[in-house]
């Protein structure tokens, strides 16, 4: 339901389905906002071991939502990352993250969070080229 706000939900089978009352992504005001994704494989539900492999899967999940709108990680301007073990895992997370982004990298906030059985969760904001899409 758009409620007249000009927002539209984005759905794809290429990313894990929402486990609650939220959308995989929302387009509004020329931007695409994604949900916070964990490292679950959208087909098998499997979670890889280690923060590096989990980061890669999370970014593939995020990328699937972006691709549904014709976007890619190159269009991302803001990344928010939650790490279960911030001090322990930051270096391995950052190394995996760097494989997915080119300069200029998006701005990023990385925080420690109490995650439910995973090591990393990421959400992004991407800019859609051209005029904003009507809701």
pLDDT tens sequence across 40-84: 999 999 999 999 999 999 999 999 999 999 999 999 999 999 999
The model's pTM: 0.91
Q: Which CATH architecture has domain 22-127?
A: 2-Layer Sandwich (3.30)
Domain ranges of the chain: 22-127
3-state secondary structure 16-59: CCCCCCCCCEEEECCEEEECCECCCCCCCCCCCCCHHHHHHHHH
82-131, pLDDT tens digit by residue? 999 999 999 999 999 999 999 999 999 999 999 999 999 999 999 988 66
């Amino acid at each position: 339901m758009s409620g007249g706000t000009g927002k539209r939900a984005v759905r794809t089978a290429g990313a894990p389905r929402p486990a609650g009352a939220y959308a995989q992504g929302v387009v509004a005001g020329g931007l695409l906002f994604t949900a916070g994704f964990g490292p679950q494989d959208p087909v098998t539900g499997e979670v890889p071991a280690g923060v590096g492999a989990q980061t890669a899967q999370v970014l593939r999940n995020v990328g699937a939502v972006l691709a549904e709108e014709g976007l890619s990680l190159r269009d991302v301007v803001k990344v928010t990352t939650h790490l279960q073990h911030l001090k322990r895992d930051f270096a391995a997370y950052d190394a995996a993250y760097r494989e997915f982004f080119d300069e200029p990298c998006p701005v990023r906030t990385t925080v420690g969070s109490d995650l439910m059985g995973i090591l990393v969760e990421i959400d992004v904001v991407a800019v859609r080229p051209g005029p904003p899409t009507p809701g």
